[in-house]
Amino acid sequence: MSTTTAIKAKQRPGDRVFSGSAVFAGSMILVTLAAVAIFLIVQSIPAFFADSEDASILPANFWEYVGPLVFGTVWAATLALIMAVPVSIGIALFISHYAPRRLASVLGYIVDLLAAVPSVVFGLWGIGVLAPAIQPIYSWLVENVGWFPLFAGPVSGTGRTILTAGIVLAVMVLPIMTAICREVFLQTPVLHEEAALALGATRWEMIRTAVLPFGRSGIISASVLGLGRALGETMAVAMVLSASGAVTFQLLTSVNPSTIAANIALSFPEAYGMNVNVLIATGLILFIVTFVVNAFARWIVSRRKEFSGAN
Amino acid sequence: MTTTTKPEAPTAGPIENSLTAGRLPTPAPWIILGAAIAVGLAIFGVLALAGGEFNWGGAIVVGALLYIPSIWLFSLLVEGRRRAMDRLVTALVTGAFVLAMIPLISLTITVVTYGVARFDAEFFSSSMRNVTGEGGGVLHAIVGTLLITGAAAIISIPIGLMTSIYLVEYGRGRLARGITFLVDVMTGIPSIVAGLFAYALFSIFLGPGTRTGIAGSVSLAVLMIPVVVRSSEEMLRLVPNELREAAYALGVPKWLTIVKVVLPTSIAGITTGITLAIARVIGETAPLLIAAGFTASMNYNLFDGRMSSLPVFVYTQYANQGNPPEAYLDRAWAAALTLILIVMALNLIARLVARFFAPKFGR
């Protein structure tokens, strides 16, 4: 620090109160996060040792109950990421390097509008519009590509499958991923880009040789942050997915795994007794998973300070 | 063709120019796009003649899908492999943007068309008390949303703002780094986990099954604090150091410098950030479903009894459909429209504040 040798300013009472309250507020963040962990753990300890006699929603013990849910959560989020990563890179490139300069910020704002739509509205839209519209495509896929294990039949009549939920999730994580990718792509040193162009590269070759290598860590952290969002997204999945709790990779049938978050939202309002503790325990597992995923993403981001997905 | 009479040639095409030779003319991509969509329309026209109605969406999608390989093919024939790749990527990147616009446009159209059916005076002036079929309204949910979100804002704005002041003005060393990291991680807490936390907190102290408005506010505050911290922190860092140094040089204490110089300079940005944070949590459904529950009656007391909110109202109207189901779905869509209008209004206010109250003289 450069001010260590400077004369210390006089500490007035106002200063003490103000700096004290600032430190207090900062510590509240630590306290809150610790409280979230502690209260969830306290409430879920009984559930870890419960069996079907204690809690009516358990098939045998807790781990057999939570296993399919964890699978469904990871599977739905993976599907969403597979769709969202290429599209968000494409949008980010379009806004940063293809769209006319004057339009770019407006287009970015329009993409951000997607983030402003509440998840419950996405859920309504998924059931009312997306699922009926996409069901004929599912039928076609099952009829013609049904030999491919993922597309095995029988096709769901409503279209409310894990793939539809994945599409809705992909739309919901697009804005944050696009925002991060866009920021990184815009930070590419202009000299690198101009050097590539001056050597006769086409725009795509310039992007491939200058922009994408520079933005690789940004793309990775955007994907991991998107994964964190997709893992925890609740209402859209709860409404769109018609879940049966099975463990299956098939995308188009009416037998679908549920996700932790959606299962909590659907079961919690009617839960009582030990069932509440079981659901809170599944929430604790979701909290741990997303905490690890987010911490990993932040670790990648923190190696490059200037961008973050918080706004 | 003879070269001597070239300028007077009757079939004067564009003059050969070595810089544009071997390139597709400028309007070519648009012509190819038009042709591709025309082919798509023709295909679905034939299908429509064979039976059923004309599928506009399918025609446009097929046309767009046809455009991508055909621009590549044309460019490959005229311009060569490298430019063809460039054109292909341009088409794909533009396509990605258009693809993302489809859900946004479709969602807007759907919510508006379904939502206007019940977007009337009765909807905004009555609750759902004793309503089983048609009629009823959303007043109790609007009141609940305003109270719960307002309480969440009252909790999180002081904490968030002071934390950001700590990080910018005071924070050094390990505590500040830890807080920065945890705030970042906190932005990723799933909303339903925040709801479970508030539920667990209140049921430990007030007995199991407690669902009150204030519990919902606490869960929203957990989601809102990190957003407020991040946006305020960014705005405070934008304040030029010269302003602080000028104040110190005049002998102003540090806390007064912050209150009278730093905060007024950045107040527009901070307001924008807070408004966006409110817009973000006002649409949260899952935590309120868990922590605040839902009810059909008016409830003005945050500390007593369950409290409805707009997003939860949308969900319960959809999930617990009665007879006739259309009445419930209409109410769900109308409430969704109301919610989207509120969120959009907040976003608009935030942008306007940012534009018109940005510091010009560092008042």
- What is the model's pLDDT at position B17? 63
- What is the model's pLDDT at position A308? 42
Best to test chain B binding among A44, A87, A204 (most B CBs inside 10 Å):
A204
Contacts of B60 in chain A (CB under 8 A): none
* B209: region left, alpha or beta (phi > 0 left; psi from -120 to 50 alpha): left
Q: Choose among A269, A268, A245, A275: nearest CA to A257.
A: A245
B324 has a pLDDT exceeding 90: no
Q: How confident is the model at residue B19 (pLDDT cuts 50, 70, 90)?
A: low
- What is the model's pLDDT at position A1? 43
- What is the model's pLDDT at position B304? 83
Question: Which pair of tokens denotes residue A190?
Answer: 């202009």
- What is the model's pLDDT at position A51? 78
Backbone CA torsion sign across B59, B65, B68, B74: negative
* Mean pLDDT, residues B45-59: 74
- Locate tokens 């599977």: which residue? A75
Residue of B nearest to A299 (CA): B181
Contacts of A279 in chain B (CB under 8 A): 196
pLDDT greater at residue B141 or residue A252: B141
Q: Choose among A220, A248, A288: nearest CA to A79.
A: A248
Rounded to whole angstroms, the Cα distance separating A58 from A50 reads: 8
Question: Which pair of tokens denotes residue A187?
Answer: 């930070």
Q: Do B162 and A308 touch (CB under 8 A)?
A: no
Best to test chain A binding among B107, B223, B263, B318 (most A CBs inside 10 Å):
B107
As its CATH architecture, domain B138-356 has Orthogonal Bundle (1.10)
Q: Domain ranges for chain B, please list them.
A: 24-118, 138-356
**Identity of residue B304:** D
Q: What is the ipTM of this complex?
A: 0.85
- Structural domains in chain A, sorted by start: 68-302 (1.10.3720.10)
B185 has a pLDDT exceeding 50: yes
Contacts of A86 in chain B (CB under 8 A): 96
B47 has a pLDDT exceeding 60: yes
- Other beta carbons within 10 angstroms of residue A39's beta carbon come to 21
Please state, in angstroms and as integers, the Cα–Cα distance from residue B268 to each residue in A178, B241, B262, B264, B319, following that order.
26, 18, 12, 8, 41
Please state, in angstroms and as integers, the Cα–Cα distance from residue A50 to each residue in A46, A47, B203, B257, following that order.
6, 5, 20, 57
**Identity of residue A106:** V
Q: Choose among B283, B280, B261: nearest CA to B272.
A: B280
Which own/partner contact pairs does B351-359 have at CB distance under 8 Å and 24+ positions apart?
B351/B272, B353/B268, B353/B271, B353/B272, B353/B275, B354/B268, B354/B269, B354/B272, B357/B267, B357/B268, B357/B271, B358/B268, B358/B269, B359/B264, B359/B265, B359/B266, B359/B268
Decide: residue B45, CB within 10 A, 0-12 exposed, 13-18 middle, 19+ buried: middle
CA-based nearest distance A191→chain B, Å = 21
Q: Do A18 and B254 touch (CB under 8 A)?
A: yes
Rounded to whole angstroms, the Cα distance separating A141 from A160 reads: 15
Q: Which of residues 242-261 of B touch A (CB under 8 A)?
A: 248, 253-256, 258-259
pLDDT digits (tens, 9 = 90+) for B206-242: 887 788 889 999 999 999 999 999 899 988 988 889 9
**Identity of residue A214:** F
pLDDT greater at residue A139 or residue B12: A139
Query: What mean pLDDT, rounded, does chain B reach?
Result: 84
Interchain CB contact of B354 with A (< 8 Å): no
Q: Do A119 and B285 touch (CB under 8 A)?
A: yes
Question: Which pair of tokens denotes residue A260?
Answer: 């932790």
Interchain CB contact of B105 with A (< 8 Å): no
Decide: residue A278, CB within 10 A, 0-12 exposed, 13-18 middle, 19+ buried: buried
Q: Which of A64-68, A301-305, B83-87, B352-356 bottoms out in mean pLDDT, i.e. has the lowest?
A: A301-305
- Other beta carbons within 10 angstroms of residue A269's beta carbon come to 16
Rounded to whole angstroms, the Cα distance separating B313 from B235 reads: 36
Question: Which pair of tokens denotes residue A102?
Answer: 């004057």
Of B230, B319, B336, the CB nearest to A121: B336
- What is the model's pLDDT at position A299? 79
H helix or E strand, kind and range, residue A89: helix A62-93
**Identity of residue B208:** P
* Mean pLDDT, residues B36-64: 79
Q: How confident is the model at residue A77 (pLDDT cuts 50, 70, 90)?
A: very high
Q: How confident is the model at residue B362 (pLDDT cuts 50, 70, 90)?
A: very low
Q: Do A287 and B158 touch (CB under 8 A)?
A: no
User: Please, what is the Cα angle at A54 between B198 and A52, to 5 degrees?
Assistant: 110
Of B158, B182, B209, the CB nearest to A30: B182
Q: Do A36 and B339 touch (CB under 8 A)?
A: no
Chain pair A-B, CB pairs under 8 angstroms? 296
Residue of A nearest to B310 (CA): A120
Residue of B nearest to A117 (CA): B340
pTM: 0.86
Contacts of B280 in chain A (CB under 8 A): 116
